[in-house]
Structure 1
Amino acid sequence: MSAPAEPAQLTARTVLEIADHEGVVLEAYLDSVGVWTWGVGVTDASGHKVGRYVDQPATLEHVLRVFEWLLRTRYLPAVLTAFAGHDLTEAQTAAALSFHYNTGAIGSAEWVRLWKAGKVDQARVAIMNWSQPRELIGRRKCERDLFFDGRWSSDGIVGVFQVQKPGYRPIRPKPTDLRLAITRAIDDGTRAA
């Protein structure tokens, strides 16, 4: 297969799919292993410092602009590199990007190598090897079904969580339609690029 003529662009559907897996939190919180996190699963490892959002909620628009920027500039290039020489559908790009956003391992994941070698059935099984802790099983199944079968799991309604203090844990997600807000974030990112 030949490489696409132009690099894949982020679509609203892709961004919504990943946001749905992650959830949205407008201020900094401690994740399940005690790492300060903010927005749509953003940690300091991304290059965006999240400590500034402790007790300082951001707007939903700001959260989504940062998320779109990180996906476009930090994560999508690695996905495209990992699949260089292979055309990906929108669904495959979204699934691989979701996997990479969550694991950071698109360049070393065996399932990617197997798929590129045409061993599709083995790749379908191997993606599930990335299901630890157990809370990730549902997400991996969604990514598997999206990559191999084109089945999207998000309808655009994403949980926006509050932060319970003093423990700084996310609670009580409010289902929120993010379709228009994510389209705006992508448009803002495209104009800024």
Structure 2
Amino acid sequence: MTSAHLTERILLEIAEHEGLVLEAYLDSVGVWTWGFGVTDKSGHLVGRYRGRRSTVLRAIEVYEWLLRTRYLPQVLAAFRGRELTEAQLGAALSFHWNTGAIGQADWVQSFLFGRRARAWSEFLNWSRPREIIARRKAERDLFFDGRWSGDGVVVMYERVRPNGTIDWKSARAIDIRDEIRAVLAKAGEA
């Protein structure tokens, strides 16, 4: 099966890795971030969410729009028109959403040259900071073995402190499947 567009499953997979914060916060390296890991570098200015909460729906709309208009074309270009399964596309998009480096990733080149075992191993070359290792392994398992981990439930952090740090105790699980479906239908992807 070939998939060159966003699907509910792909959006849910990446969202689960990211988590959701409806107010701008400082990430682990001090970058202002919002929603599902959106930064200014992603293409949407997040300063507007400092001290101001958005809705879950707005966060999903921006997330889907960025994936569709900025990240998907770059992933497709990196694979040079090669047909990808839905799982491979989802894994590659998750990797690129997190690193912004699909065009420089050694594992992509190895995969394109048919060196599957080497590509599988090289996936973990992108495992810094340390807390990203579990995500990278999940992306690798999805790309090479088709094992999905997203189920529609994401962790949402309700509170951001005045200094921009997340109140980790404010976490709660929410199901975003209905909102994802609505956004995809509006975008014409459903």
TM-score scaled to structure 1, two decimals?
Answer: 0.93
Deviation at 1:91, TM superposition (A): 0.2
Q: Distance in 2 between matches of 1:190 and 1:66?
A: 15
Q: Distance in 1 between matches of 2:104 and 2:29?
A: 23
User: Does the aligned pair in 2 maintain the 1:29–1:163 contact within 8 Å?
Assistant: no
For 1:108 and 1:132, the matched residues in 2 are separated by: 15
Provide the secondary structure at the position in 2 that maps to 1:163: coil
Could you tell me whether the CA contact under 8 Å between 2:23 and 2:160 is conserved in 1? no
Amino acid corresponding to residue 87 of structure 1 in structure 2: E
- Matched with 2:11 is 15
Which residue does 1:159 correspond to in 2?
155
Q: Cα offset for 1:81?
A: 0.5
Supply the distance in 2 between the matched residues of 1:30 and 1:128 (Cα, whole angstroms): 25
Contact 2:23 2:34 in 1 (8 A): yes
Given candidates 46, 68, 84, the residue that maps to 1:72 is 68
- Structure 1 equivalent of residue 89 of structure 2: 93
> Which deviations, in whole Å up to 9, do the C-alpha atoms of 1:8-30 show, x marking residues without a partner?
11001000000000001111111
Are residues 1:144 and 2:126 paired?
no
Over 3 Å off, 4+ runs: none
Report SS of the residue matched to 2:48. helix
Counterpart contact for 1:75–1:100, Cα < 8 Å = yes
CA deviation vs aligned residue, 1:64-112 (integer Å, no higher than 9, x gap)? 0000000000100000001123110000000000000000110110000
CA RMSD of aligned residues (A): 1.3
Query: How many pairs were matched up?
Result: 186
Structure 1 regions of 5+ residues with no counterpart? none
Supply the AA of the counterpart residue of 2:47.
G
Is 1:112 paired with 2:69?
no
Partner of 1:186: 184
**Deviation at 1:48?**
0.7
Distance 1:157 1:178 in 2: 6
Is 2:28 the partner of 1:40? no
Structure 2 residue runs without a partner (length 5+): none
Residue 147 of structure 1 deviates from its aligned partner by 0.0
Q: Which amino acid is the alignment partner of residue 140 of structure 2?
A: R
8 A Cα contact 1:65 1:189, kept in partner? no
Q: Distance in 1 between matches of 2:119 and 2:87?
A: 16
Shift of 1:32: 0.9
1:188 positional shift:
1.8
Q: Distance in 2 between matches of 1:152 and 1:167?
A: 36
The AA in structure 2 aligned to 1:190 is G
Q: Deviations over 1:156-193 (max 9, x none)?
A: 110011233123222232111111111111112228xx
* DSSP 3-state at the match of 2:158: strand
